[in-house]
Chains A and B, each alone.
Chain A
């Protein structure tokens, strides 16, 4: 069974530029999550989708971050404009039944 796929794996941008990350969850997994992991910290939930609807986006900085999950499968997370403090690893996870999450390899973002 294929795991959670993410791209790109690495991205370097200048501050105030925009960037987008893509995630393809495990086939059949209805729930999809985006996490932000700052160096030296545990992952922090940004947004949770159930199929193509948002369940929780309370920790998403909505002035610059947006996410969508069209057709309840793939998802895209966007940052516009990026700030220096957005440098982090962005992890996507998916879950079949909500109790166990499986993570992708992450996208490491560096904002200069």
Chain B
């Protein structure tokens, strides 16, 4: 079955420290992969996406993600976290039917 898993429910990181959020997918072919961010009371904002090509993808707000086929992963990273990065982050994938399947999300708390 096609699915996406985010192993970490909650991560706490200090402001200025690096952040890495994990995402693993299960799919027979190469999926289209996305990271979305949801701030409290807001909708989902697209951070970045991977369809093909360069496996290191740059997104908005200083985020990047790396597609690793051998590990079925698409982890999100940011070198230096700001307090405004506190939010919930969702990994999602779709196959060629363009129906998004989301992970359960990872909540990021930023401490001063």
Which residues of A come within 8 Å of B, CB atoms? 4, 6, 31, 33, 40-45, 48, 56, 91, 93, 95, 98-106, 108
Contacts and interface: CB of A to CB of B under 8 A. Distances in A.
A40 B104 contact: yes
B36 interface: yes
A45 B103 contact: no
30 contacts: A6-B43, A31-B98, A40-B105, A42-B102, A42-B103, A42-B105, A43-B44, A43-B90, A43-B100, A43-B102, A44-B102, A45-B99, A45-B100, A56-B99, A91-B43, A93-B44, A99-B51, A99-B94, A100-B34, A100-B46, A101-B100, A102-B46, A103-B36, A103-B44, A103-B45, A105-B42, A105-B43, A106-B42, A106-B43, A108-B41
A41 B98 contact: no
A72 B44 CA distance: 23
Contacts of A93: 44
Contacts of A56: 99
Interface residues of B, number: 21
Contacts of B100: 33, 43, 45, 101
A106 B44 CA distance: 9
Contact of B49 (A4, A91, A100, A105): A100
A41 B6 CA distance: 11
B44 A91 contact: yes
B66 to A, nearest CB: 19
A99 B98 contact: yes
B104 A41 contact: yes
Contacts of B36: 103
A102 to B, nearest CB: 7
Contacts of B105: 40-42
Interface in B1-59: 32, 34, 36, 41-46, 49, 51
